[in-house]
């Protein structure tokens, strides 16, 4: 199954049967569903596909957001992750700047 076909399969399932946070599907259950169509589908590949789709996630699973609140909550979650990743990037960059590298290796 191609990535495009898998994306369409996931979107169709979520948009039709998992509307709203209360109807979220557990990630493992969605993976099992997709593996019925692609038995060789591995978890990492599955995750790489669904994280590119316009679906929301929560502790209950994956879902199609139906309310303004659900959309706001997920956007806030993504924003916090983006800030966290950027801070990690800055810290990494600072720690591994040219001067730091020279100091680490006695140069």
Tens-place pLDDT, residues 45-91: 999 999 999 999 999 999 999 999 999 999 999 999 999 999 999 99
Whole-Å CA distances, 107 to 66, 87, 98, 101, 104: 58, 28, 10, 8, 8
Q: How many domains does the chain have?
A: 2
- Can you give the pTM of this predicted structure? 0.80
Instruction: Determine the Cα angle at 74 with ends 72 and 80, to 5°.
Output: 100
Do 18 and 5 fall into the same domain? yes
Do 60 and 102 fall into the same domain? no
| Residue 9 in this model has a pLDDT that exceeds 90 | yes
| Residue 107 in this model has a pLDDT that exceeds 80 | no
Do 31 and 83 fall into the same domain? no
**pLDDT in the model for residue 94:** 86
**pLDDT in the model for residue 31:** 98
Do 61 and 10 fall into the same domain? yes
Do 54 and 75 fall into the same domain? no
**Residues of the domain holding 62:** 1-66
Do 3 and 51 fall into the same domain? yes
| Residue 103 in this model has a pLDDT that exceeds 90 | no
Do 46 and 79 fall into the same domain? no
């Amino acid at each position: 199954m191609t990535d495009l076909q898998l994306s369409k399969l996931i979107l169709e399932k979520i948009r039709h049967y998992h509307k709203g946070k209360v109807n979220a599907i557990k990630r493992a259950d969605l993976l099992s569903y997709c593996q019925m169509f692609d038995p060789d589908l591995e978890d990492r590949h599955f995750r790489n596909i669904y994280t590119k789709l316009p679906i929301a996630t929560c502790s209950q699973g994956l879902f199609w957001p139906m309310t303004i609140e659900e959309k706001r909550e997920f956007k806030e979650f993504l924003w916090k992750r983006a800030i966290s990743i950027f801070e990690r990037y800055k810290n990494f960059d600072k720690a591994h700047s040219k001067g730091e590298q020279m100091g680490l290796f006695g140069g």
